[in-house]
């Protein structure tokens, strides 16, 4: 392995050329806390849209041994299974061991990507239904950025409702732009049929900055406002399927609401009516 200088705050060092190194091809910054990037895809990597992998950078050298170890974190793959590149949507935690450094990556830099995809936010973990809900807070949008570009989503469901709740408007930009680009994507229209994107209902809300729709999605479900706004019936276990990805408290509140509505939690080994994954550990 080639010796490398340790990664610093100012500049992300190139990781040694490990078998798991991938090259960054594009980086976009949305706010001082959020960015997305694309990188090359390992030729042998197969994954199901909605799954996550471990990615990272080489850590600082151990002061005693001088050895560097990979610093890895779980990341939802934001790109669909058919994409020849990989996309990720990331937080920037100011003192976060990984993201305080990862936020400085540039095209041409290398990251580490362990090609072992896993996760519960996959179509295989749900039984057939008519309408699918994607419920996200913050970077929990990432797996849905993958699933919204997955042809199976449109083959399996008549209606796709994506709710995204963030504190501030700027934090909705990645999701809003992505949905806009799906609506205008000619290649996707050719693949999935003209008008496929008409199945998408996008329901963004903010909680701390003024916007057209304010409030936590959990409160909007309890009050019935969500269903009134969309002009649809409340959750029905016969027709509704859901995937949830947000902070722990959000996930737990939604689980409770789904169980009350009679929906059962699924898993890869036992498909059912809804599935949950944490957007981050706390």
Ligand X SMILES: Cc1cc2nc3c(=O)[nH]c(=O)nc-3n(C[C@H](O)[C@H](O)[C@H](O)COP(=O)(O)OP(=O)(O)OC[C@H]3O[C@@H](n4cnc5c(N)ncnc54)[C@H](O)[C@@H]3O)c2cc1C
Ligand Y SMILES: NC(=O)c1ccc[n+]([C@@H]2O[C@H](COP(=O)([O-])OP(=O)(O)OC[C@H]3O[C@@H](n4cnc5c(N)ncnc54)[C@H](OP(=O)(O)O)[C@@H]3O)[C@@H](O)[C@H]2O)c1
List residues near ligand X by CB under 6 A. 52, 73-76, 89-91, 93, 96-100, 138-139, 142, 277-282
The footprint of ligand Y on residues 212-271 (CB under 6 A) is: 216-218, 247, 249-250, 253
**3-class state of residue 43 by DSSP:** coil
User: Cβ closer to ligand Y: 113 or 276?
Assistant: 276
Examine residue 211 and tell whether it contacts ligand Y (CB under 6 A): no
Examine residue 207 and tell whether it contacts ligand Y (CB under 6 A): yes
* Min dist. Cβ of residue 128 to ligand X (A): 26
Examine residue 167 and tell whether it contacts ligand Y (CB under 6 A): yes
CA distances from 75 to 215, 253, 282 (A): 27, 23, 15
Cα 212 versus chain centre, distance: 24
* Min dist. Cβ of residue 263 to ligand X (A): 21
The footprint of ligand Y on residues 71-90 (CB under 6 A) is: none
Q: Which does 166 bind (CB under 5 to 8 A by kind): ligand X, ligand Y, none?
A: ligand Y
Residues 6+ apart with CB under 8 A from 56: 70, 71, 72, 73, 98, 102, 111, 112
Cα distance between the two ends of the chain: 34
Q: Which does 216 bind (CB under 5 to 8 A by kind): ligand Y, ligand X, none?
A: ligand Y
34-40 vs 85-91, strand pairing mode: antiparallel
The number of residues that bind ligand Y (CB under 6 A) is 16
CB 277 within 8 A of CB 119: yes
């Amino acid at each position: 392995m080639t010796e490398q200088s340790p990664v610093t705050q100012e500049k992300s060092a190139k990781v040694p050329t490990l078998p798991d190194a991938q090259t960054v091809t594009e980086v976009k910054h949305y706010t001082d806390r959020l960015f997305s990037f694309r990188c090359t895809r390992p030729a042998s990597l197969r994954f199901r849209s909605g799954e996550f992998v471990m990615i990272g950078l080489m850590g600082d050298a151990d002061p005693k041994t001088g050895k560097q170890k990979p610093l890895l974190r779980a990341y939802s793959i934001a790109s669909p299974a058919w994409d020849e590149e990989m996309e990720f949507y990331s937080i920037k935690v100011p003192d976060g061991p990984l993201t305080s450094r990862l936020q400085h990556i540039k095209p041409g830099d290398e990251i580490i990507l362990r090609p072992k995809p896993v996760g519960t936010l996959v179509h295989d973990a749900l039984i057939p239904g008519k309408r699918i809900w994607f419920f996200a807070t913050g970077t929990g949008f990432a797996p849905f950025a993958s699933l919204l570009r997955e042809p199976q989503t449109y083959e399996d469901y008549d209606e796709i409702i994506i709710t995204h709740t963030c504190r501030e408007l700027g934090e909705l930009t990645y999701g809003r732009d992505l949905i806009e680009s799906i609506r205008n994507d000619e290649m996707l229209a050719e693949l999935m049929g003209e008008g496929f994107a008409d199945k998408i209902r996008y329901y963004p809300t903010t909680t701390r900055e003024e916007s057209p729709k304010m409030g936590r999605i959990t409160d909007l479900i309890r009050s019935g406002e969500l269903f009134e706004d969309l002009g649809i019936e409340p959750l029905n276990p016969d027709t509704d399927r859901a995937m949830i990805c947000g902070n722990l408290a959000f996930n737990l509140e939604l689980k409770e609401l789904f169980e009350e509505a009679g929906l059962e939690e699924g898993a890869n080994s036992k498909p059912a009516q809804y599935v949950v994954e944490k957007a981050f550990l706390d």
